[in-house]
Structure 1
Amino acid sequence: MTDPAHETPLFPLNTVLFPGGRLGLKVFEARYLDLMSACLREQRPFGVVALRSGQEVRQGDDAVAFETIGVLAELVEVDSLRPGILQVRGRGTQRFQVEQSHQQADGLWLARTRLLPDDEPVAPAASQHETVRGLANAIASLKAQGAEPFDAPYHFELAGWVANRWCEILPIPLAAKQKLMELPDPLARLALVDEFLRGKGVVK
């Protein structure tokens, strides 16, 4: 048996969390209320993995399948909307690989995980500068509408940060976002985003 204290609790979701990204959750299932309490008390993160099949909310004995590469989330803010419901805000930190997982009787998934390297701090290529400017314009437009999509500070000088923020707001399938998040090369990730944006005429 694996020691639960050395395992990562998992939260399978219909979303892909990126390092540096925001996570907003409304938590009401007992297993996740207990998880949030434990994470707050122990100052520990939990893992977010994208669902391949199944539902976020437990439906009897329905099986779920999730991706094996996810991102750790640290708690930023937890508010109690009313008894039994929490509004949670988290932030993505580091990618991890699930090596082995199992489900507890209460439905919570635990996994033995291996941390993956952070993106290399490389600058966007000169050919990608329009995509960087496009992100800055998108942020300004969203702010003008009263939305604050990303946490400061902004890192337009980092290819990985720019690629991740675009991935969060682009209307692309969950599976595509997952593949982009998994890419270990931030320049390759940004190149794919750049190609997509040029194909859609968003940048020229």
Structure 2
Amino acid sequence: MTSPSAGPLTLTQLPLFPLHTVLFPGGVLPLKIFEVRYLDMIGRCQQLGAPFGVVTLTEGEEVRRRAPSAQGAEPGFVREGFHPVGVLARIEKLEKPQAGLYLVQCRGLQRFHINRREQLPHGLWTADVTLDPPEPNLPVPDHLLPARQTLERVVEGLAQQGTPDTHPVPTPHQWDDCAWLANRWAELLPLPLEMKYRLMSLDSPVLRLELVADLLDRMGLQD
């Protein structure tokens, strides 16, 4: 991976993990790794202390599969497609319960935009990407405070159930940060994958939180 000394930060040959999920900055993503292409990727990232990129699938499956072939034709693989905006993931925990299996916990970092992508012979995708700057810490406006207060009640209720280490709202809590609050709600709400992706890819944290607050109102989830 390389980066220029000035201008937007870029990474070359960033390994990608296309998934049927959306990783948000600050979010926690558990993964069960058993495909050779990803065992190798995770092993290298862990060894180098380097991130990988999580992108959202638009076509194909998470596990590489053979495609039906015409009679006499060489079998190929099912096509994989994914959105052009993703999020860097940093490995926080890695366990090896048995040969050929990794249990990994990752944390979302900052967003990136794909400039060029390539699939290697063994199936791993890599890309040259431009990193977005970290999202600014913007205080929650007064008209969006109900979204914060509702999430605080959700977290308090989960803590009372005795599951503070396993509930889906990662720590540290940043209640007065628009981006953090919007991202955590977008993870929790039962939204279509495409809508989650559109929320993640929005540049404005305040707009993202406003859209989330509108969804909460429509669902009757906040006062």
TM-score (normalised: structure 1): 0.95
Asked if 1:188 is matched to 2:204, the reply is no
Match of 2:151 in 1: 135
Provide the rounded CA distance (Å) in 2 between the counterparts of 1:170 and 1:143. Answer: 19
Provide the rounded CA distance (Å) in 2 between the counterparts of 1:63 and 1:152. Answer: 37
Q: % of aligned pairs identical? A: 39
Match of 1:175 in 2: 194
Tell which deviates more after alignment, 45-54 or 135-144: 135-144
Gaps of 5+ in 1: none
Provide the rounded CA distance (Å) in 1 between the counterparts of 2:141 and 2:217. Answer: 15
Helix, strand or coil at the partner of 1:7: strand
Match of 1:33 in 2: 39
Gaps of 5+ in 2: 3-10, 67-76
Give the partner amino acid of 2:208: R
Deviation at 1:118, TM superposition (A): 2.0
Question: Deviation above 6 Å: which 4+ runs of structure 1?
Answer: none
Instruction: Pick the structure with greater CA Rg.
Output: 2
Provide the alpha-carbon RMSD of the alignment: 1.3
Provide the rounded CA distance (Å) in 2 between the counterparts of 1:7 and 1:143. Answer: 41
Number of corresponding residues? 201
Match of 1:162 in 2: 181
Deviation at 1:137, TM superposition (A): 1.0
Deviation at 1:189, TM superposition (A): 0.2
Offset from partner CA, 1:156-176 (integer Å, 9 cap, x none): 010010000000010000000
Offset from partner CA, 1:136-172 (integer Å, 9 cap, x none): 1111222333233233211001001000000001000
Give the partner amino acid of 1:84: G
